[in-house]
Amino acid sequence: YKGEDIKLQIIYEDKDLLVINKQAGIVTHPAPGNETGTLVQALIHHAKNNLSDINGNNRPGIVHRLDKNTSGVMVVAKTEISHFKLCQMFSHHDLERRYNALVWGQPKNDGFIQKPIGRSLINRKKMAISEKGKMALTKWKILDVYTPLATLIECKLETGRTHQIRVHLSDLGHSVIGDTLYGKPLQSKKLTSNIYKEKFKLLKSFNRQALHAKKLSFNHPITRKFLEFETSIPKDIL
């Protein structure tokens, strides 16, 4: 793949890795239907090919992914050794990842969801709660409540399954606002006032899942120095 001059918001960079604040709407790596304009092309352009190629030319430096419409902190490997060690850290969960999500309705206080996630048997593009899947654990707590429409929560990932937060919150009955794949909006007929009905329409028209990778902290794979990166909630969610 060739590099493309796509603006990157770089939070941190050294010779081993770089940390970016990914904007919503950009795909992490090329795939059928999204061959150009991805994060990979932006990274190739920025790093002048100085990225690890453990995953081959298709995914240089990509250690973990954020969905196309999820924004937030993401780490990218620049060398083979840092790639290998970062992958180990992700598989052993030796790092902390926190997300902000704006969800429908009002969940009860705080809690955790521990349910296995696997590929959906009905729709292969979706993940689902499945006994045959891999165990997944999401901890969550309430940050702010916008009664009766929505709640801002923080999720802490103890495992990193595909679409984990989106699947778990949907199963909880409080799916992420703007999530067209797993979303279950509130029933608008339960809303009494016209003000709420107007706000409901506005929320329903939000055009991406309101999910943001807020925080990532880990020990540097090479120097072992503790690194912590935090980004603010993007304007569209605010």
Catalytic annotation, residues:
67
b/e map 85-111, b = 16+ CB within 10 Å: bbbebbeeeebebbbbbbbbbbbeeee
Short-list 46, 48, 36, 35, CA closest to 10: 46
Q: Count H helices and E strands in the chain, helices first.
A: 4, 11
| 106 contacts 147 by C-beta, under 8 angstroms | yes
CA distance 202 to 189: 15
Residue type, 21: N
Q: Which residues contact 236 (CB under 8 A, 6 or more apart)?
A: 24, 206, 208
**Torsion-angle region of 22 (φ positive above 0: left; ψ -120 to 50: alpha; else: beta):** beta
CA distances from 56 to 17, 40, 52, 81 (A): 17, 12, 8, 15
Strands 10-13 and 226-230: unpaired
